[in-house]
Structure 1
Amino acid sequence: MQAVAAALDAAAVALGQHPERSRKRQSVIDAHAELRERELIKLASLAAALADALRRRGVPEPDASLAAEAGIAVLRVAFERWIGEPHGPDLPQTMREALDRLKIITAVR
């Protein structure tokens, strides 16, 4: 998950550079079913690429796929929170908070 966290942090820095543009882009996507579907396909491709990178680093299955899919879930949730809170923390911070929450709720008790 450390590798996933590093990838998420890099993505958050890149995506978070233009918040107003990101909000406008998301509003257009939200308004069109075809664009929402296309966005889901992009996220699935990103998850596959992330899982592949993890496997190349020696992470076995199903761990690589689970970590990658969890990372994409964190990305989606954090991005939605970030665009919904214009005066909240920046995207990298929102992403780290979402990842921390995932760690808490998935901790073995």
Structure 2
Amino acid sequence: MNAAAGLLEGRHDHAVRRAAIIAANPGLQERELHKLTKMAAMAATALRERGTHEPVASLAAQSAVTVFQVAFTQWVGTVGDPGSLADCIARTAAELRALV
């Protein structure tokens, strides 16, 4: 997740515009959900290939994608200085840990 944060960090304004366009278009929303589903599936496959058994591989992959998605939404939706995407991811992951 932090690698993705590093790639997006300098593109906050672009990410805000992109998120607004997706939010306004149901077809793009569907495509974005499909992309996130594929990311989770690929991550689960990679975990299984490294010896992680089910359901742990799927839970970890889905959780990672959800943390990223929630953090990204906060990052692009925050008025003013949202801080870094990496910080948003860390806070969101901490919230999930506290929840479970």
Q: What interval of TM-score do these two structures reach, taking the shorter chain for normalisation?
A: over 0.9
Equivalent in 17, 23, 29 of residue 36 of structure 1? 29
TM-score by length of 2: 0.94
Q: Which residue of 1 is the match for residue 16 of structure 2?
A: 23
Is 1:55 paired with 2:52? no
Cα deviations across residues 28-66 of structure 1 (Å, max 9, x unaligned)? 101100000000000000000111111111110110001
Residues of 2 paired with 1:63 and 1:24: CA distance? 35
C-alpha RMSD of the superposition: 0.9
Shift, 1:67, TM fit: 0.6
Equivalent in 88, 91, 94 of residue 82 of structure 2? 88
Is 1:75 paired with 2:62? no
Q: Which residue of 1 is the match for residue 38 of structure 2?
A: 45
TM-score by length of 1: 0.87
Q: Which stretches in structure 2 are left out of the alignment for 5+ residues?
A: none
Sequence identity (%) = 37
- Number of aligned positions between the proteins: 99
Deviation >2 Å, runs of 4+: none
Q: Which stretches in structure 1 are left out of the alignment for 5+ residues?
A: 1-7
Residues of 2 paired with 1:70 and 1:15: CA distance? 20
